[in-house]
Amino acid sequence: MNAFTLLPFIVLIAAMFLMTRSAKKKQQQAANMRNEVQPGSGVRTIGGMYATVKEVNEDTVLLDAGPGVDLLFAKNAIGAVLTDDEYNRIVHGIEHDLKSDADIVPDDASSLTETDESAAAAASDDKAVDLGKKDAAEDKADEADEAPEAAEAKADEEPKKTDGDTDAK
Judge whether 66 and 54 are in contact, CB under 8 Å. no
Rg (CA), the chain: 38
For the chain, the average pLDDT equals 76
Count CB neighbours of 24 within 10 A: 10
Phi and psi at residue 60, to the nearest 5°: -125, 165
Task: Give residue 52's pLDDT.
Answer: 92
pLDDT digits (tens, 9 = 90+) for 57-100: 988 999 998 889 999 999 989 988 888 888 888 888 877 655 55
**Residues contacting 63, CB < 8 A, separation 6+:** 43, 45, 49, 51, 52, 53, 54, 70, 71, 72, 73
CA 120 – CA 104 distance, rounded (Å): 25
Burial of 11 (0-12, 13-18, 19+ CB in 10 A): exposed
Q: What is the pLDDT along the chain (169 residues), one digit of tens a residue?
A: 677 888 888 899 999 988 888 889 988 888 888 888 889 889 999 999 999 999 999 889 999 988 899 999 999 899 888 888 888 888 888 776 555 555 666 667 666 665 555 555 555 555 666 666 666 556 555 555 555 555 555 556 666 666 666 665 5
Task: Give residue 142's pLDDT.
Answer: 58
Specify the pTM: 0.46
